[in-house]
Chain A
Amino acid sequence: MAQQRKVWEADLDEDFQDVDLNLAIGTYGQNGLYDDAQSRVDEATLLALQQQMAQQAAFAQIPDVVKRFIAHFHQAVLDNNLAEITVAYESGWNRLTEKFYAKTEWPEAEVIAPLVNDDQIFLILYRELYYRHVYSRLTPDIDDRFHSYENSCELFNYLLNSDGPVPLELPEQWLWDIIDEFIYQFQSFCVWRSKVKSKTDEEIAMLAEGSQVWSSYSVLNVLYSLIQKSKINEHLVALQEGKSPEEIAEIVGEYGTRPLYKLLGYFSIIGLLRVHSLLGDFTLALKVMENVELNQKSPFTRVTACHVTTYYYVGFCYIMLRRYPDAIRTFVSILNFILRMRQYHTRSYQYDQINKTADRMYALFAICNALSPTRVDDNISNIVKERYGEQFAKMSRGEEGIPAFEELFLYACPKFITANPPPYEDPEALQGYIDEPPVEPAQRHLQLFLAEVRAQAPVPTLRSFLKLYTSLDASKLANFLDADEEDMVQQLMVMKQASRSISRVDEKSLLDGQWISTSDLDFVINQNMVHIAESTVGRRYAGWFIRNTEHAQRVLDTLRNAPLPIPSKPTEANKASKAESTAPAAQAPARTGGKQVAWGSAKAA
Chain B
Amino acid sequence: MVTTAANWVAPPTRPPLIETLVSGVDRYNPSNVGILEDYLYHQIRSQEYDCLANLAILKLYQFNPDLYNPDVVINILIKALTSAPFPDFSLCISLLDERPASATSTAAAANPDEPDPLPQLLPVLTQLHGLLQQCRFPRFWALYRSDAVEALRDNYTVECVGFEDAVRDVAVRAVKAAFTSISSERLGSYLDLSGPELTAYVEKLGWTIDAATGVVSVPPNPDNQIESTVVQESIQLPQLTKVIAHAAQTSLPVVSAV
Cross-chain contact A524 with B133 (CB below 8 angstroms): no
A interface residue count range (under 10 / 10 to 19 / 20 to 34 / 35 or more): 35 or more
Known: A2-B31, A224-B25, A493-B135. A500 touches B235 (CB 8 A): no
Contact of A452 among B90, B97, B225 (CB under 8 A): B90
Q: Cβ of B193 < 8 Å from any Cβ of A?
A: no
B interface residue count range (under 10 / 10 to 19 / 20 to 34 / 35 or more): 35 or more
Give the residue name and chain of the A residue nearest to B97 (CB): A418
What separation, in Å, do the CA atoms of A491 and B130 have in the docked complex?
Answer: 13
What separation, in Å, do the CA atoms of A418 and B91 have in the docked complex?
Answer: 15
Cross-chain contact B186 with A489 (CB below 8 angstroms): yes
Give the residue name and chain of the B residue nearest to A539 (CB): B233
Contact of A216 among B51, B63, B226, B231 (CB under 8 A): B63
Cross-chain contact B101 with A436 (CB below 8 angstroms): yes
Q: Which residues of B contact A507 (CB under 8 A)?
A: 3, 5-6
What separation, in Å, do the CA atoms of A509 and B130 have in the docked complex?
Answer: 30
What separation, in Å, do the CA atoms of A441 and B98 have in the docked complex?
Answer: 8
What separation, in Å, do the CA atoms of A320 and B89 have in the docked complex?
Answer: 12
Q: Cβ of B247 < 8 Å from any Cβ of A?
A: yes
Give the residue name and chain of the B residue nearest to A215 (CB): B63
Cβ distance A475 to chain B, nearest Cβ, rounded Å:
13
Contact of B138 among A321, A486, A531, A542 (CB under 8 A): A486
Q: Cβ of A65 < 8 Å from any Cβ of B?
A: no
Give the residue name and chain of the A residue nearest to B215 (CB): A527
What separation, in Å, do the CA atoms of A438 and B228 have in the docked complex?
Answer: 51
Cross-chain contact A490 with B180 (CB below 8 angstroms): no
Known: A493-B175, A531-B226. A455 touches B134 (CB 8 A): yes
Q: Which residues of A contact B180 (CB under 8 A)?
A: 524-526
* Stretch binding the partner chain, chosen from B115-123, B148-156, B159-167, B237-245: B237-245
What separation, in Å, do the CA atoms of A85 and B54 have in the docked complex?
Answer: 47
Cβ distance A513 to chain B, nearest Cβ, rounded Å:
4
What separation, in Å, do the CA atoms of A549 and B243 have in the docked complex?
Answer: 7
Known: A493-B175, A527-B215, A553-B243. A281 touches B231 (CB 8 A): no
Contact of A321 among B91, B133, B235 (CB under 8 A): B91
Cβ distance B227 to chain A, nearest Cβ, rounded Å:
6
Cross-chain contact B177 with A500 (CB below 8 angstroms): yes
Q: Cβ of B182 < 8 Å from any Cβ of A?
A: yes
Q: Which residues of A contact B229 (CB under 8 A)?
A: 533, 535-536
Give the residue name and chain of the B residue nearest to A507 (CB): B3
What separation, in Å, do the CA atoms of A553 and B126 have in the docked complex?
Answer: 64
A residues 520-545 near B (Cβ < 8 Å) are 522-527, 531-538, 540-542
Q: Cβ of B4 < 8 Å from any Cβ of A?
A: yes
Cβ distance A539 to chain B, nearest Cβ, rounded Å:
8
Q: Cβ of A572 < 8 Å from any Cβ of B?
A: no
Known: A429-B106, A493-B135. A284 touches B59 (CB 8 A): yes
Q: Which residues of A contact B194 (CB under 8 A)?
A: none
What separation, in Å, do the CA atoms of A556 and B133 have in the docked complex?
Answer: 62
Cross-chain contact A320 with B62 (CB below 8 angstroms): no
Cross-chain contact A439 with B87 (CB below 8 angstroms): no
A residues 268-323 near B (Cβ < 8 Å) are 279-284, 287, 320-322
Cβ distance B50 to chain A, nearest Cβ, rounded Å:
12
Contact of B243 among A448, A496, A550 (CB under 8 A): A550
Q: Cβ of B52 < 8 Å from any Cβ of A?
A: yes
Contact of A514 among B4, B87, B235 (CB under 8 A): B4
Q: Which residues of B contact A515 (CB under 8 A)?
A: 4
A residues 315-368 near B (Cβ < 8 Å) are 320-322
What separation, in Å, do the CA atoms of A449 and B134 have in the docked complex?
Answer: 14
Cross-chain contact A511 with B9 (CB below 8 angstroms): yes
Q: Cβ of A394 < 8 Å from any Cβ of B?
A: no
Q: Which residues of A contact B90 (CB under 8 A)?
A: 320, 448-449, 451-452
Contact of A534 among B31, B59, B102, B228 (CB under 8 A): B228
Q: Which residues of A contact B130 (CB under 8 A)?
A: 451, 455
Cross-chain contact B102 with A553 (CB below 8 angstroms): no
What separation, in Å, do the CA atoms of A1 and B135 have in the docked complex?
Answer: 43
A residues 444-480 near B (Cβ < 8 Å) are 444-445, 448-449, 451-452, 455
What separation, in Å, do the CA atoms of A86 and B149 have in the docked complex?
Answer: 64
Q: Cβ of A217 < 8 Å from any Cβ of B?
A: yes
A residues 214-265 near B (Cβ < 8 Å) are 216-217, 220, 224, 228
Q: Which residues of B contact A486 (CB under 8 A)?
A: 138, 186, 189
Q: Cβ of B232 < 8 Å from any Cβ of A?
A: yes
What separation, in Å, do the CA atoms of A547 and B245 have in the docked complex?
Answer: 14
What separation, in Å, do the CA atoms of A238 and B129 have in the docked complex?
Answer: 43
B residues 173-201 near A (Cβ < 8 Å) are 174-175, 177-183, 186, 189
Q: List 30 A-B contacts (CB under 8 A).
A: A3-B30, A280-B94, A284-B59, A287-B9, A287-B52, A322-B85, A418-B97, A418-B98, A419-B97, A429-B105, A432-B105, A449-B90, A452-B90, A455-B133, A455-B134, A486-B138, A493-B175, A502-B5, A507-B3, A507-B5, A507-B6, A512-B3, A512-B9, A514-B5, A522-B226, A524-B180, A524-B224, A526-B181, A527-B183, A538-B231
For the complex with contacts A455-B130, A502-B4, A522-B227, 12 further pairs of A-B residues with Cβ separation under 8 Å are: A1-B29, A2-B29, A283-B55, A419-B97, A420-B62, A429-B105, A432-B105, A493-B135, A535-B231, A536-B231, A537-B231, A553-B246
Chain B interface residues toward A at CB < 8 A: 3-6, 9, 23, 25-26, 28-31, 51-52, 55, 59, 62-63, 65, 85-87, 90-91, 93-95, 97-98, 101-102, 105-106, 126, 130, 133-138, 174-175, 177-183, 186, 189, 215, 223-233, 235, 239-240, 242-243, 246-247, 250, 254
Chain A interface residues toward B at CB < 8 A: 1-4, 216-217, 220, 224, 228, 279-284, 287, 320-322, 418-420, 423, 429, 432-433, 436, 438-439, 441, 444-445, 448-449, 451-452, 455, 486, 489-494, 496-497, 500, 502, 507, 509, 511-515, 517, 522-527, 531-538, 540-542, 546, 549-550, 553, 556-557, 560, 601, 605
